Each structure stands twice: as C-alpha cells, then as structure tokens.
Amino acid sequence: MNQTVVVLDFGGQYSQLIARRIREAKVYCEVLPWKTPLSVIREKKPIGIVLSGGPASVYAEGAPTADPALFSLGIPVLGICYGCQLMVQLLGGWVSPAQTDGAREYGRTLTHYDADSPLAASLPAEAVSWMSHGDFVKILPEGFSVFAVTAHCPAAGFGDPARRLYGLQFHPEVRHTEYGSQILKNFLYEICGAAGDWNMSDYAERAMREIRETAGNGRVLLALSGGVDSSVASVLLSRAVGRRLTCVYVDHGFMRKNETKEIRRYFSALDMDLRMVDARERFLAALAGVTDPEAKRHIIGAEFIKVFNEEAQKLGSTEYLAQGTIYPDVIESGEAGGAVIKSHHNVGGLPEKIGFKGILEPLRILFKDEVRALGRELGVPEEIVSRQPFPGPGLAVRVLGEVTEEKLETVREADAVFREVIASRGLAGQIDQYFAVLTDMRTVGVMGDARTYSRTVALRAVRSEDFMTADFARIPWDALEEASRRITNEVNGVNRVVYDISSKPPATVELE
C-alpha cells in the first residue's frame, strides 16, 4: 500500500490541483470533503494532511471547519489560504478581514522567505507567489513563527516545527507561484518523511491484482468508447482477466466524423472480444426535446446501462460492468464531496440500479496524465494514449439545445474542418483539446448578396496539464481565419464562427 496524503477540500478552486501536484512529487494523494469524520481520516493512515483554500471566511456563520483534534494527531498539517486561516482560528489565533487593514492581495506577489524554515528550504530570499485572499492572519497561535512575508501580508508563511504544523497564505500548487513545487516537496519529504512510492508500474500491478480479487471467475463487460481512458482500461482488464473480458462499443450517434470506423479498425486488431452496437436511433429518440446539458448526461448514462444490460444478457453470465472512469470525472460529479460541476454519464449520470453485480473502475483514482502514463507503461500505442479527451455523451453536449440529426451533422462537419486546419498547420501538438460546438444561436448574415439567418459555431481550444485547470489556446489569427472561412463555406447552415477565450476556471473545458 502506498503512503498517502489527504487533502481536505474546503471548496477551493485549486483543491484538486493540490492533489495533482502532490502526485507529481511521487506521493499518492486523496481529496476528501471537509466534513469527513476524523475517524475516517485516521483510517487512511496519512503521512500528511493538507487543508485546501476555499471561498468562505473562517469567522462567518456556518463556515466550513474541521475537528481541532486534527492538529493533535501527530501528523504534519499544511494549511493553504483558507486552510491556514482555519488552522490559526482553531488554535487560538486571530483572522481579520484584509480590507480593513489594507492587506488584500490578488495575483502575483513578491514574497520574502526565511530559508531556515524546513518548508522554505532551498528557496531564494525572494520570489513571486500567487495570492488570492480577502482575509489575513493578524495574530498567530502560540508556538508559531513567520518565515514568509509580503508587502501587505505579515504572515504569508508560518509554522510550528515542533508540532509540524504549517500555513501558507498563498497557493504553492499553481504554476504562477515560483518554487511552489519545491515548497510542496519540502512538506512531503522534509516534514512528512515521504518515500516517493507512487508510480504507474506499481499501480498497474496493484490494479490488476485488485481486479482479479474482485471479479474472481466472473465475466466482465467493458463500456468501450475508444477514448484514452476506456482504451487503457481495456488493456489493463484484458491482462487481468483475459478472455473473460468483453468490450462493448456503443455507437450512440454522437461521435466525431469517421471515429467509429477508426475505433473498429484499431480494436479489431487486438486479441479481445469486441462487440459493436448500433444504437443511434434509440439514443436520439431518448433525447428528443431535451435541452439541458445535465439532463442529457443523465439520459445518456441511463440509456448506456440499458444497452450494456441487453448485451450482457446476450453473453450470458456477465457479472461486472467496467468503465474508464477517472478522478476528474468523480470530482466534477460531486462524488468526492465537492460541488457538482457536471454529472459525467459514467458517474453521476448512472441510474441507481445497474443490473450488474458490481462496477469495476480501475482508473478511478487517476488523473488524465496518469492514465496516459499508465497506458505507456502497458504498451498502448501512442496514437491512442495521446488522443485528446472526448466526452462520453459526445457531440450531444456539443450541440447546445435540442439534439437533432441535422445539428449533429453540422457540428460533426465543422469539427472535422477545425481539426484539419489545426493538423495542417502543425498546431496539434501544442493544444491539448480542440473542438467545435454548435450554439443555440442564430444571427443575421450576408452570403451571396442575400440575407441569411443561420447558426453560429463556436470553436474551443485549450492547453492543460491535468484538465482540472486550463487556459484557452493562443491559436494564430490566420489559422482561426482559415477555420472560420472554411466552416462558413463548407458547412451548410452556418454563417458565423466565434472563438471561446474562457479559461478553466471560471469556465469548464467543454462548452455546454
């Protein structure tokens, strides 16, 4: 069993990013909701605990809190932003509104460090950190001392080395903080005594062992989408249970242009039991009149289960349903205790009764880049491992409003054009995800000297390491111009193309 660090999530936008950075440092990490009982935290046997940031004020009525006994477990604790303020309040210090003292800070901030603190080891005397706080620590609890300050924050970093309790007012997990990764490594290795035992080679062996223990001699049906996650899951499951695995690809009619053909070509060449199911008509009928994207996800999730149950009955004694669920799916669906951003069809979109003995999700605790690393460890071809993400509901959530065959064809063709332009200009390797969306907006235009009242296509492209955060891609203007010109010329019913320059947060990667 790997050493574990627990992140208690107080609703901060960077909570999952903290976990990702810790895993990058080769230490396994789990995100738990702030309400998690102390007994459950202790059962995890963590070598360290991190308290995340959050939007609340610690002195506000009903603000998220923690059991003060958390700081008496003898386990190192690192509080970040709200987490550090909560630590101070619970241990007898004083947190004050920064506005009244002129101490509010947002964005890049020059920070001064005292390298004598183990948390600041190997750091320069000053560097930029990323601040985002409306409150600040005015009086520290007994036993704490300051090791980092800014022009407006007298306690940007502080700690009690005897009890191994530390607090940071800034965010070391974001890339904008210089030496942020080093600070987290200092906490993990110098303070928590981490061994750095989290790697994909060990994980693959452990996952296959757990699959065999759970499935026994039972047959497994994998919901295969052809994307990175389910493809890696298929190889992992195949090595674990062999021919007792059946991969079922359901063509729901919401795939990109020629994608089903490509999936059939690749997986038919593997030594797997592959079943292709044409369910286009039933999925489109199920979505008739539906416009809300969350409702679409739930309907598609329920319909998937119906199809998989039907296929399982044809196979006979299939006991387990397997999915390529990954950690961001779990987090965004609220399954880790946070807010529901969107219900992924394979998590929050599943019905209560699934008709199987159980569900196998061997990638459930992995981030996207970890899934890719695992795929390479398993020998999955790079053309599959490096594929950009594609949502399980497919183009159904990239058609805003009601889904029709005509709209699907429009967005399918627009998406194909956009991908061709990106590929022809050698930009594909510089962008982590790019696609077209058919908006639910019509606008007036002029084509061939005649007035048109046609649809608007939105283009979306982002760069991201883990898809928990993302920046819009700075695509050259001439490439966007070519994509716009070709789409309006080649795709019927479109007279306007726009480019989405939103980052995540505040937006999500998908535009739905």
Q: Is 359 exposed, middle or buried (0-12, 13-18, 19+ CB in 10 A)?
A: middle
332-386: pLDDT as tens digits: 655 444 444 333 444 444 445 556 888 899 999 898 889 999 999 999 888 888 8
Res 106 pLDDT > 80: no
113-144: pLDDT as tens digits: 998 899 999 999 999 988 876 787 889 999 99
For residue 341, what is the DSSP state?
S
For 234, 262, 481, the CA distances from 362, given in Å and listed in that order, are 10, 25, 43
CA distance 375 to 368: 11
For residue 343, what pLDDT is reported? Answer: 38
Token pair belonging to 247 = 């991969």
For 118, 122, 455, 464, the CA distances from 190, given in Å and listed in that order, are 7, 11, 58, 29
What domains, with CATH codes, occur in the chain?
4-191 (3.40.50.880), 200-385 (3.40.50.620), 398-499 (3.30.300.10)
Residue type, 143: G
For residue 367, what pLDDT is reported? Answer: 86
DSSP reduced 3-state for 266: helix
Q: Considering the candidates 24, 173, 413, 512, report the single residue annotated as catalytic.
A: 173
If pLDDT is split at 50, 70 and 90, which confidence band does 209 have? very high
For residue 459, what pLDDT is reported? Answer: 97
What value does the mean pLDDT take over residues 31-54? 94
For residue 227, what pLDDT is reported? Answer: 85
For residue 103, what pLDDT is reported? Answer: 58
CA distance 177 to 356: 47
For residue 342, what pLDDT is reported? Answer: 37
Is 192 an active-site residue?
no
For residue 350, what pLDDT is reported? Answer: 44
Is 171 an active-site residue?
yes
Is 173 an active-site residue?
yes
Average the pLDDT over each of 52-56, 345-349, 386-390, 492-496 and give the range with the smallest value. 345-349
150-196: pLDDT as tens digits: 888 889 899 999 999 999 999 999 888 999 999 999 999 999 999 99
What value does the mean pLDDT take over residues 235-254? 92
Q: Considering the candidates 81, 153, 192, 247, report the single residue annotated as catalytic.
A: 81
Phi, then psi, of 386 in degrees rounded to 5: -95, 5
DSSP reduced 3-state for 233: helix
CA distance 17 to 173: 6
Best CA proximity match to 369, nearest among 19, 12, 102, 63: 19
What value does the mean pLDDT take over residues 79-100? 88
Question: What average pLDDT is seen over the chain?
Answer: 88
- The model carries a pTM of 0.69
Name the one residue in this structure whose structure tokens are 């510089």: 430
Residue type, 261: K
For residue 102, what pLDDT is reported? Answer: 52
Res 99 pLDDT > 80: no
Average the pLDDT over each of 45-54, 359-368, 463-472 and give the range with the smallest value. 463-472
CA distance 56 to 38: 21
Q: Considering the candidates 24, 84, 105, 171, report the single residue annotated as catalytic.
A: 171
